[in-house]
Amino acid sequence: MESRPLDRIRIKDLLVRCIIGVRDWERLERQDVHVDVTLHADLSRAGVSDSIDDTVDYVGIKKRIVTMAEASSFFLIETLAERIAQECLQDPRVRQADVVVEKPGALRFARTVAVEITRHQPSDA
């Protein structure tokens, strides 16, 4: 049986403020971090039913991301990206999560540095 490609929900340029970095001064105050998330799921049922019960609760996912990130104090944006992906995959309808975490001003002479990861539901392994 041939499966159809998954649909996507995108959360773009979500601003979170968190403690992030390895330098002493980065551990003192929250910094702005920008997050992009792409949630891969089958949205066909929601497209037909027009029912919120048939789609991914992206408002809830956004709230979980913000709550987790703002309470965190990771050294690496890689770790923050991993934890964001885990929050996204808590919804079993999300089969794959693509996460980009940008830390503006992290590199001199560069606007931003970013880490991009893709994670799947464990059953997709």
Phi and psi at residue 29, to the nearest 5° = -135, 150
Q: How far is CA 18 from CA 27, 46, 59, 117, 121, in A?
A: 9, 34, 20, 19, 26
Residues tagged active-site:
103
